[in-house]
Copies of this chain bind each other. A is one copy, B any other.
C-alpha cells in the first residue's frame, strides 16, 4: 500500500512532528506540506531537523491543496479546523481527515463554547485507542479527533481505575508538568529560553484550563458516572515531555492488589502503554520522541488515595504519534506501523 498524506500547519511543532514520524512510516508517501504565514518558504529553514524534506517548499493551506490525498492531517490553531474540514468533505469525500487541534474533541457544544468562545464544529471519533471500546470506534472512521496531550496522559493514567470501579469519582486531583513545546511556537516572553530554562511555573490554575472538560469527559465515560477533576498544569524547563501526577480517592473496601490488577488488566496487552515494575518510576526522558507511555502507581493508605504518575512525549504519543496510531487503525494497518522508535536517552 502507498498512501498519499498531506500535512497542514507544517511550520509548527505538531505539524513538524507529524512529518518526522511519517518519514519513518513504510506505507506513506508525503504529499502536500502546507502552512499559512510561512507559505512559500523552504521547509529546511523552518524544520531543520527534517533533513529528508529540507528542499520542499511550503504551500498555502487551502482545501484545494489538501484535497485528493488519502489522508490529511490538520495541525491548525484551535477553531480553524471546522471550516477546512467542511470544504474537504465536498472536495475530497474519500479522504481520511485527522484533526490534531481541539475543534472536534468535545461532545458538549456548551463546554466548547465556554472554554473556546466560538461555535462548536462538531464531535469526531476520539483517537485514543487504549480507552475501552475506542479501537472499534476508530477502525473505519473517516474523521478522527486527536486528543489533547494533557488529556491523553491523564486519561491513560486514570481510566483503568474508573473502568474497574476502584476509584471514587468525586474528587480527582491532577497536577501535570509539560515541556515548553506544549505551548507551541508562540513568541511570548515567558516562553523564551532565558525565562523558561531553570524555572517552573503554573498556569491556567483553578479550573480554567481548556483541557479540564476533555479530561472529565473521558473519565466520566470510563466511570459511567460524572467525574470531577481539579487539574493544574505547570510549565517545566524542558522542550518535550509531560509528567502527570494523578490522584483519586480509593473506593471503600478496595485493596492495593485490586488496584494494581486494574491497570495490569487494562495495559497488559498494550504495546505502547506500560505499567512499570514496582519500584521503578516513570521519567519523561525514557519516552522522548517515542509513542510510548510509562506509568507507576502507589496506594497511599494513610491518605486514602491512589497516586498514578505517567510520562509521555507531548508531541509524539501526546499528538503526532497518537494521530498516526489512529490513522493506522482507521486504515486497517497494524497499529504500530511507523511507530516503532524507542525513546532517545540519555
Tell me, yes or no, whether A281 is within 8 Å of chain B by CB: yes
Select one of B206, B281, B302, B304 contacting A202, CB under 8 A: B281
Chain B residues, CB < 8 A from A238: 197-200, 237
Decide: B230 and A300 in contact? CB cutoff 8 A: yes
Please, what's the 1-or-0 string for A286-324, where 1 marks a CB less than 8 Å from any CB in chain B?
Answer: 111110101010111111110101010000000000000
Decide: A194 and B180 in contact? CB cutoff 8 A: yes
Decide: A342 and B283 in contact? CB cutoff 8 A: no
Decide: B207 and A302 in contact? CB cutoff 8 A: yes
Tell me, yes or no, whether A34 is within 8 Å of chain B by CB: no
Decide: B187 and A232 in contact? CB cutoff 8 A: no
Decide: B201 and A284 in contact? CB cutoff 8 A: yes
Decide: B193 and A343 in contact? CB cutoff 8 A: no
Chain B residues, CB < 8 A from A340: 23-24, 52
Q: Which residue of B lies closest to A313 (CB)?
A: B344
Decide: A51 and B195 in contact? CB cutoff 8 A: no
Complex Cα–Cα for A175 and B49 (A) = 24
Chain B residues, CB < 8 A from A303: 171, 173, 207, 228-230
Q: Which residue of B lies closest to A340 (CB)?
A: B24
Complex Cα–Cα for A299 and B208 (A) = 11
Chain B residues, CB < 8 A from A344: 20, 49, 240, 288-289, 344
Please, what's the 1-or-0 string for A20-57, where 1 marks a CB less than 8 Å from any CB in chain B?
Answer: 10011000000000000000001011011111101000
Please, what's the 1-or-0 string for A201-242, where 1 marks a CB less than 8 Å from any CB in chain B?
Answer: 111011110001000000000000000111010101111110
Least Cβ distance of A82 to chain B in Å? 27
Least Cβ distance of A10 to chain B in Å? 13
Least Cβ distance of A263 to chain B in Å? 14
Tell me, yes or no, whether A78 is within 8 Å of chain B by CB: no
Select one of B16, B49, B283, B346 contacting A290, CB under 8 A: B49
Select one of B44, B201, B294 contacting A277, CB under 8 A: B44
Decide: B245 and A193 in contact? CB cutoff 8 A: no
Please, what's the 1-or-0 string for A267-283, where 1 marks a CB less than 8 Å from any CB in chain B?
Answer: 00000001011001111
Which chain A residues have a beta carbon within 8 Å of chain B's beta carbons? 13, 16, 20, 23-24, 42, 44-45, 47-52, 54, 171, 173, 175, 177, 179-181, 183, 185, 187-203, 205-208, 212, 228-230, 232, 234, 236-241, 243, 245, 247, 249, 274, 276-277, 280-290, 292, 294, 296, 298-305, 307, 309, 311, 340-346
The 4 closest A-B pairs by CB, nearest first: A206-B298, A49-B343, A193-B196, A199-B285
Given A198-B284, A288-B344; 14 other pairs, CB 8 A cutoff: A49-B286, A49-B288, A50-B343, A180-B194, A194-B346, A195-B345, A198-B239, A201-B281, A201-B282, A207-B298, A232-B245, A232-B309, A234-B309, A236-B236
